[in-house]
Structure 1
Amino acid sequence: MGASPWIVPDELWDRLEPLLPQRKRRFRYPGRKPLPDRDVLCGILYVLHTGIQWEYLPQELGFGSGMTCWRRLRDWNDAGVRQRLHEVLLAELNAALRLDWSRCVVDSSHVRALKRGLHTGPSPVDRGRAGSKHHLITDGHGTPLAVLLTGGNRNDVTQLLPLLDAIPPVRGRVGRPRRKPDSLFADRGYDHDVYRDQVRDRGILPAITRRGTRHGTGLGVHRWVIERSFAWLHGFRRLRIRWEPRPDVHEAFLRLACCLIAYRQRNVLC
């Protein structure tokens, strides 16, 4: 990612720039020239990496105001830019045989929601304080395939099928785009026979730990990758606590972080 993690590398920008919506040019009253998208993206990445509040974004770095970056993040998210970038990066990984479709792994993680808002709820692991959950599904290497945001009191198993549905059609190889793995690994929070049957009906083999089973059954050998993926996600300080009352803005940060992880995986996996 370069010397500073918020500096956008040329490789990533070349993939992102064609996906950005084009602003209509005004001829009669052009107004102030808008800040270049690449500079604004650096400001967004600065907030994502450091966790700084929008109003304290240092303008001397050339990122523009925090409100400019916030609006651009919102607009790009509404236009589906993050989703399309994620699909482009996954397709490149798939073409290079760097996605492990033999299995996927699901899990969730709690974050405190200090400003509440939609998709928050009393967290059972944080003494009932308002919180949210990040629900994540990865391939066998830990590359994020999809991420969802819910209230902190939402049961993990309710998001199992929505996560599978959220996996985008991944291109990059000859034939139809791929959307499902061969097997699915999950912990005891997903132990429910009805959901096992629904996963099996999709042609996916469920490997879900049953409640009461002693530890050391061996499934953790495959599930540890998602713990690492959550460590990567929450390495972005803005995602450790949910500051945004608007769920779409927090989800935009989540999806952007997944894109950055997928981009890094291109250079890490052999």
Structure 2
Amino acid sequence: MSRGDLTDDEWAVLEPLLPVSNNRCGRWRDHRQVINGIIHRLGTGVQWRELPERFGPWKTVHKRHVLWSADGTWKMLLRHVQAAADAGGDIDWNISVDSTIARAHQHAAGAPTAPPPSLPGSSKGAPRRSVQQAAGGEPARPAGGGGEAGEGIGRSRGGLTTKIHVAAEGRCRPLALLITPGQRADCTQFEPVMDEICVPRQGFGRPRRTPDSVSADKAYSNCKIRGYLRKRGIRHVIPEKKDHKAARLRRGSRGGRPPGFDKARYKDRNTVERAIGKLKQFRAVATRYDKRGYVYLGTVTAAALLIWLRS
């Protein structure tokens, strides 16, 4: 076993959840060997063709990652680990929300606009499940000669970029992930990120979706977000923008009361920054090499899964 491979304890968590056969060609190639190959690529950002031979055929590793990104296997594994942590009282539900930019490599651009192929066992020509949702809920459409906008790649002064929106719990681990084009404003994705929080119960009961409190920076300071949190009964710590404060004061008594702000709680907002720092320790996350948005989201989700397994 080399540095970064799954340990016996980590494999014991994942093994019971993985499929035994692929419904087409009998049994899968050893899942542990393939996952170790995916982990190697996550940490190094190496091209799939350059994977060491000890991980088996590179096409097998690549196809397995693409398939699990499309059918939600990576998300299922992540939620299982989160559910086990929640059952043991190991999740701090005082969460923080923020986003980060990942530079897209030039090879990540130019994805075809045609619909992706069908999953094994599905009807002929049917699109992969959850592909559009994985890419930020936008249908693929031409942008700059390709389908970059629909694949979560945006064009800005920094070039081709993708934005990763993260909701992190109090122990610096990602609870929910979402990707959008790099120029997308943070505040527009607050509700979609919050809706992605879904930690199943072990046993009976509905999944937990509501945190104890939420903290975010001024980019999320607007009436719509505050109203959304108020409606759900979630305490929040979001600083008020200077222009919003000035406008409220100009209106006098009609401007309403200032929003509550807990300075001590806001100091803990660095948990999401540290969670993002952990994600970007994986080079395949810090720089996007995947053309398809759902594949890159699978890459980020696999990195989050390793963070939870090794925390």
Pick the TM interval, shorter chain: 0.7 to 0.9
Residue segments in structure 1 that go unaligned for 5+ positions in a row: 266-270
The alignment's TM-score, normalised by the length of structure 2, stands at: 0.75
Which AA in structure 1 matches 2:213? Answer: S
1:191 is aligned, of 186, 200, 221, to: 221
* Separation (CA, whole Å) in 2 of partners of 1:129 and 1:77: 26
- The answer to whether the aligner puts 1:228 opposite 2:227 as a matched pair is no
Q: Does 1:156 align with 2:186?
A: yes
Alignment-mate amino acid for residue 4 of structure 1: R
Asked if 1:85 is matched to 2:83, the reply is no
Q: What amino acid sits opposite 1:246 in the alignment?
A: R
For 1:10 and 1:79, locate their aligned partners in 2 and report how far apart those are by CA, in whole Å: 26
**Residue 130 of structure 1 pairs with residue 124 of structure 2:** no
Residue of structure 2 equivalent to 1:242: 288
Based on CA coordinates, which of the two structures has the bigger radius of gyration?
Answer: 2
Aligned residues: CA RMSD: 2.2
Deviation, 1:219, is 5.0
Is the contact between residue 54 and residue 66 of structure 1 (CA under 8 Å) also seen in structure 2?
yes
Contact 1:19 1:81 in 2 (8 A): no
What is the rounded CA distance, in whole Å, between the counterparts of 2:17 and 2:202 in structure 1? 18
Aligned to 2:89: 97
- Tell me if structure 1 keeps the 8 A contact 2:44–2:282: yes
Change (3 A) 1:83 1:48: same
- In structure 2, runs of 5+ residues without a counterpart are 110-147, 246-261
Count of residues paired in the alignment: 250
Deviation at residue 25 of structure 1 after TM alignment: 6.2
SS at match of 1:163: helix
Is 1:142 equivalent to 2:142 in the alignment?
no
- Check conservation: 2:22, 2:28, Cα contact below 8 A: no
Q: TM-score, normalised by structure 1?
A: 0.85
> For 1:22-37, what aligned pairs fall within 5 Å after superposition?
22-24=21-23, 26=25, 35-37=29-31
Aligned residue among 11, 16, 29 for 2:9? 11
Give per-residue Cα distances to partners, 1:152-204, cap 9 Å, x unaligned. 01110111111111011332487543211121100011111111101211121
Distance change >3 Å, CA 25–CA 193, structure 1 → 2 = closer
Tell me if the contact between 2:100 and 2:163 (Cα under 8 Å) persists in the aligned partners: yes
- What is aligned with 1:268? none
Show the counterpart of 1:64: 56
Contact 2:69/2:299 (8 A) holds in 1? no
Return the match for 1:111 from 102, 107, 116. 102
Quick one: structure 1 residues 174 and 141, their matched pair in 2 at CA, closer, same or farther if it must change by over 3 Å?
farther
CA distance in 2, matches of 1:209, 1:66: 48
Report 1 or 2 for greater relative contact order, CA contacts < 8 Å, sequence distance ≥ 6.
2
> Contact conserved, 1:209 with 1:219, CA < 8 A, in 2?
no
Q: Which amino acid in 2 is paired with 1:119?
A: G
- Distance between the aligned counterparts of 1:94 and 1:73, measured in 2? 27
